[in-house]
Structure 1
Amino acid sequence: MYPSLTFDVARAAWIAATARELEGFAEANRAELDACDRACRFPRELYRELGARGYLAPMVPAEYGGLGGGVAEYAVISEEVGRHGLVSGQIASQGQRWLLDWGTPEQKDRWLAPLSSGEAVFSESISEKNAGSSFRNLTATAVRDGSDWVLTGSKTHVNLGPASDVTLFYAVAEEGLTSFLVDMTLPGISTQQTDPVGLRLIPTGDVVFDAVRVPASAILGVPGGGLETFLSTFNISRLGNASELIGLARRALELGLRYARTREVGDSMVTDFQGIQWMVSDAWQAVQAASLARDHAALWHHAGHDIAFETSVAKRLAIDAAEKASETSFSLTGGHGLYTDEPYHSILSDIKVLKVGGGSSEILRNYLARRILKDPGHEGLA
């Protein structure tokens, strides 16, 4: 597992131990995780326990309660979360990354440790009903009022919005797109949980800001610097997104094969048929290709390079691999996989949500095409 991410013996040992611990944690809490998934309920206590073990903060320095690792540790944890159906710390990692890259000392002191431990929950209030991937269509506003700012706008698709303690609110100010770290207990903020088809352990919600007054110290970065803050984090968080998809692909194949190896069809097992074997081979190859692309992106970042292109490739391949693996699992299980008390429908639904979140498949293909066409010789792309 993760052969190209094992830079040294110590990291290899950590990866093996992490995989074992997260698998055991998932098995011990399977009933609660499944119940929360069905009810679309955030398992806060399990989330806190993962935080206490350091798994919500792989890239946060130890002084703030994190593991003190890098993108390799982040990728491994994200994949194991997908593989075992655990509650994701992806949103927390994005918030921590924002704080590490752009936060003031005061912002870091207030939020990094509680976000790392799971005692505080982070959300990102970015998308609007008519503004998904295009910031130019945002209608949320930020208006100066003396030394304060007044924030107004409605956000949707906010993972953990109703459960969060702090949100990163993107709004248009006179200077341009600006991001604000906002305490969710402030007057004028209201939330309503929605009912997503997948990733139901980190439910989505609508978040409304009605003339919410915040101090200037709430700004993350500088006024007008919102696009820069957004891109700096999402080019890294796309690695976590790709890794969760790879984990879901592995889970689908592992569960499907576990059933198919014992399922008799006449005088044969399901896995004896050549058509099934070809599907398994193709799915496994797709997962391997996505894993290698993800590992390359992580190593590219470790070497200090920009990784926008590499993470886009990794996520595109991870989407394809996850969909192929999920489709194969339904062929392996037949009627057995068609019921809600089995995990296959939940895996498929999680894949559909991850396919859209953090850069949809179509947006990524457009971006990759522009980069490739701009540089036909592929110089500097990888």
Structure 2
Amino acid sequence: MTCNIFAVLVIVQEKRRGSYYSSIAKLFASDSTNQAATNAVQIFGGAGFNTEYPVEKLMRDAKIFQIYEGTSQAFLLFKIFFQDLSATQKEIQATALKFAREEILPVAAKYDESGDFPWVIVKKAHSLGLMNPQIPEQYGGPGMSSLETALIVEALSYGCTGVQLAIMGPSLGLAPVYIAGNEEQKMKYLGWLASEPILASYCVTEPGAGSDVSGVRTKAEKKGDEYVINGQKAWVTGGGYAKWFFTLARSDPNPKAPAGKAFTAFIIDGDTPGIVRDTRTITFEDVRVPASNVLGKPGEGFKVAMSAFDMTRPGVAAGAVGLSWRALDEAAKYALERKTFGTEIANHQAVQFMLADMAVNLELSRLATYRAAYDVDRQVRSSYFASIAKCFAADTANQAATNAVQIFGGNGFNSEYPVEKLMRDAKIYQIYEGTSQIQRIVIARMLLGYFQQNQTTRGI
């Protein structure tokens, strides 16, 4: 509900003209109003139908917005096109999209089938400045903004989200160093990523600790001027190839110690003795790490690990946006080619409604993503908007991929067509870097806290 309200406000703030965006605003705002009123009544329970409470009137009032000045069904029929961007943004996106179409699209299916790591593409992306573009210039990087990085991720994901992740996967690993590292650490590890097409990984998740990060059991024991690390990490993106790892380990042996004081963050070089790894799992067996590789202060690792998500979740959302964009393009193309009952299926209202729903959610998830990235650029810490973008874009990608397969019909399950892979790829966005359920918890906690202080959710 909050996602919907926020996205409509962004559209209004953008001051975009034309029937396309005014239709999106009217359609989504009216549908959101009805859903918000219905949810409010549900939360009130039986009291929601009592005129002594305000919400029953809200539900009655909401319905007219789906009817007057054009029904919601009428507004689903407007055509699809891509929003305007600034000249700089268009140039960045054009470069990334050209790379996606020429270097990624032709070979994506091959890599999907073989499971090989796309080193050739990764190296080409690095040479063009499309890999780790957010690394500041003083450390040898392109120095692009988070918004520009989101444009690149979106475009690369249009080609293939898996290959995009191979290129941009180090973003999560480098974020804690960017946020909490000292100058020596930044110069060494960010500079390394900027100068060579290498990978870095974020090692937090464990076999028994995913969404519950406080359940991390990997231990760090201080011995002289070193720490000895023992434990196992799971689902490590790029773990089989990473040159260094951001790692969270429990440094306080007291199991009752609060998360904010129990963990320490480390940078661990990939060739350190005692590291055993495969594609996704990293095992640390008496791995000795110098105290100089502690990231931030000892005992503050949990804060460092969590702060990275506000910086990286807009990028994850951008990947989901790119997938939704590709799903919409593929579905629109197929709908204009495939004929049933003597005409292209694009002329059938049922198909038009699916395409229009995909377009509406794509544009809104894109705007939410750009807003979250903009907050990072302004150095405004906003878990609220980062979670909104990640949650809404992930859900949108899954619905877009499902609709695309539906429009393709039986061909949607055929690997000769691209949409079955889109549906497989979409699901991960509701899981990694915080599940959609975790995002909703974050959103709800923050809006409730804000409301308690301000008696409104507007302006959060």
Distance 1:337-1:313 versus aligned 2 partners, 3 A rule: same
Question: Which residue, out of 252, 260, 275, partners 1:189?
Answer: 275
Name structure 1 gaps, 5 residues minimum.
5-10, 194-204
Say which is worse superposed, 236-245 or 27-36, in terms of deviation: 27-36
- Contact 1:177–1:223 under 8 Å retained in 2: yes
Matched, 1:21 2:95: yes
Matching residue of 2:356: 281
d(CA) in 2 for partners of 1:253 and 1:24? 18
Matching residue of 1:165: 243
What secondary structure, in the 3-state scheme, does the structure 2 residue paired with 1:210 have? strand
Say which is worse superposed, 294-303 or 141-150, in terms of deviation: 294-303
d(CA) in 1 for partners of 2:154 and 2:191? 23
Matching residue of 2:305: 230
1:23-38 counterparts in 2 under 5 A? 23-29=97-103, 30-38=105-113
**Counterpart code for 1:359:** G
Q: TM-score, normalised by structure 2?
A: 0.75
The alignment-based identity, stated in percent, is 27
- Contact 2:324–2:362 under 8 Å retained in 1: yes
Matching residue of 1:202: none
Question: Which residue, out of 167, 183, 202, partners 1:105?
Answer: 183
Question: Which residue, out of 176, 179, 183, partners 2:262?
Answer: 176
d(CA) in 1 for partners of 2:292 and 2:301? 15
Q: How much does 1:261 deviate? A: 0.5
- Contact 1:245–1:354 under 8 Å retained in 2: yes
d(CA) in 1 for partners of 2:362 and 2:141? 29
d(CA) in 2 for partners of 1:271 and 1:58? 39
Partner deviation per Cα, 1:14-53 (whole Å, 9 max, x = no partner): 3212222222222332343332222222212211221121
Question: Which residue, out of 143, 146, 164, partners 1:87?
Answer: 164
Matching residue of 1:247: 322
d(CA) in 1 for partners of 2:301 and 2:116? 31
d(CA) in 1 for partners of 2:459 and 2:122? 38
- Contact 2:447–2:457 under 8 Å retained in 1: no
CA RMSD of aligned residues (A): 2.0
**Counterpart code for 2:394:** I
Distance 1:169-1:53 versus aligned 2 partners, 3 A rule: same
Matching residue of 1:123: 201
Partner deviation per Cα, 1:276-298 (whole Å, 9 max, x = no partner): 11111111111111112122223
Name structure 2 gaps, 5 residues minimum.
1-10, 15-84, 253-260
d(CA) in 2 for partners of 1:113 and 1:380? 41
Larger helix proportion of the pair:
2
What secondary structure, in the 3-state scheme, does the structure 1 residue paired with 2:281 have? strand
Partner deviation per Cα, 1:122-166 (whole Å, 9 max, x = no partner): 011110111101122111000011111100001100011011111
Matching residue of 1:315: 390
Matching residue of 2:174: 96
d(CA) in 1 for partners of 2:458 and 2:225? 45
Say which is worse superposed, 323-332 or 92-101, in terms of deviation: 92-101
- Contact 2:248–2:302 under 8 Å retained in 1: no
1:130-169 counterparts in 2 under 5 A? 130-169=208-247
Q: How much does 1:71 deviate? A: 1.3
d(CA) in 1 for partners of 2:335 and 2:457? 45
Q: Which has the higher contact order (CA 8 A, sep 6+)?
A: 1
**Counterpart code for 1:365:** R
**Counterpart code for 1:14:** T
Q: How much does 1:335 deviate? A: 1.9
Q: TM-score, normalised by structure 1?
A: 0.90
Q: How much does 1:379 deviate? A: 4.8
d(CA) in 2 for partners of 1:14 and 1:84? 21
Number of residue-to-residue matches in the alignment: 364
Q: How much does 1:263 deviate? A: 0.9
d(CA) in 1 for partners of 2:217 and 2:342? 64
What secondary structure, in the 3-state scheme, does the structure 1 residue paired with 2:375 have? helix
d(CA) in 2 for partners of 1:303 and 1:25? 29
d(CA) in 1 for partners of 2:126 and 2:176? 18
What secondary structure, in the 3-state scheme, does the structure 2 residue paired with 1:119 have? coil
**Counterpart code for 1:227:** F
d(CA) in 1 for partners of 2:374 and 2:286? 44
What secondary structure, in the 3-state scheme, does the structure 2 residue paired with 1:48 have? helix
Q: How much does 1:344 deviate? A: 1.4
Distance 1:380-1:278 versus aligned 2 partners, 3 A rule: closer
d(CA) in 2 for partners of 1:113 and 1:34? 33
**Counterpart code for 1:93:** S
Distance 1:378-1:83 versus aligned 2 partners, 3 A rule: farther
